[in-house]
Structure 1
Amino acid sequence: MKVQKLNPTAQVIFDNKLTVDHTGHEKTALRFWLDAKGKVVDVQQRHKSLMETFRNVRANGADIDPKTGVRMPRRE
């Protein structure tokens, strides 16, 4: 996987090979942050599970009322 910043000139931010060896295996390839001017300020490979994020309604925003933008109370 290669990540390049293209503006104003091409700059390689990350270049590495990742292997996932079975169905359901997930790896975080890269996490990066930009400042307000678009400068890369942090690059990490710290794992973050997309499956866990999307299954958790509080993390994925599924508990926010789309009309009001207010978080709905938890059902116990």
Structure 2
Amino acid sequence: MPMMNSEARKRAAARELLTDPRAEARRLADEWDREADHEEACGNGFAAVILHAHARDLRAALEDPDRGDQPVQPLSA
């Protein structure tokens, strides 16, 4: 891959989002999972459960677009 300056990287990322708008949502779900793993390693299991649940819900919504019409189940359910 050729070297790019920061502006070129930003433009490339923006083009990728225009071609696949779900790419950013998948990236966000992955980031939430990484953050959850970090929180769990630090002993904050509650935050880890919340973050993993959000990532799981986001991935489910990406797989089933009709799910957006359904109410979200509370985490305690």
Structure with the bigger RCO (C-alpha within 8 Å, sep 6+) is 2
What is the TM-score normalised by the length of structure 2? 0.24
Task: State the TM-score, normalizing by the size of structure 1.
Answer: 0.25
Of Structure 1 and Structure 2, which has the larger fraction of its residues in strand? 1
- Pair member with larger Rg: 1
As a proportion of its length, which structure holds more helix?
A: 2
